[in-house]
Amino acid sequence: MTLKKSSLIVAVLAAFAAHGAFAADDKTRAEAKAEAKAAAKKGNTECEASAAPAAKSDKSRAEVKAAGKGTSRECDASPAPAAKSEKTRAEVKQEVKEAVKSGELSKSDAMEKAKK
């Protein structure tokens, strides 16, 4: 055999042997989940990095939200006043028609004002 063929055979055999080593723990998925659930209940986890960090506060979420009322999220400034017009829409439309008839406004100017 050539060197390439023998090294390929060795690599394939090593891959199968490694796969068998990983699969030596013949648990079903349900058994593994149950085991992990029991370990989490006891507080025994293999990986501490995956555990949730300890809370920095003893307050509940509702207490924290109540304490945050009146902070920067809420604005004390009054809202912008609503635009008030002393004329009705019909009156304004009539004025525009009269301005177009008299020549004060062109039809294109009237259309622009109507869009606004």
Q: Count, in order, helices (H) and strands (E) of the chain.
A: 5, 0
Angle formed at CA 9 by CA 6 and CA 10, multiple of 5 degrees: 85
- At 89, list the tokens: 């829409």
Give the three-state DSSP class for 9: helix
Structural domain boundaries of the chain?
88-116
- Residue 5 pLDDT level (bands cut at 50, 70, 90): confident
Instruction: Name which residue leads in pLDDT, 53 or 108.
Output: 108
Give the Cα separation of 49 and 61 in Å (integer): 24
| Contact criterion met (CB below 8 Å) for 100 and 106 | yes
With a threshold of 0.85, does the pTM exceed it?
A: no
The 10s digit of each residue's pLDDT in 58-107 is 888 888 888 776 665 556 666 777 778 888 989 988 998 898 899 888 88
Residue 50: DSSP 8-state: G
Task: Count CB atoms within 10 A of the CB of residue 94.
Answer: 12
Distance CA 113, CA 116 (A): 5
Contact 57, 64 (CB under 8 A): yes
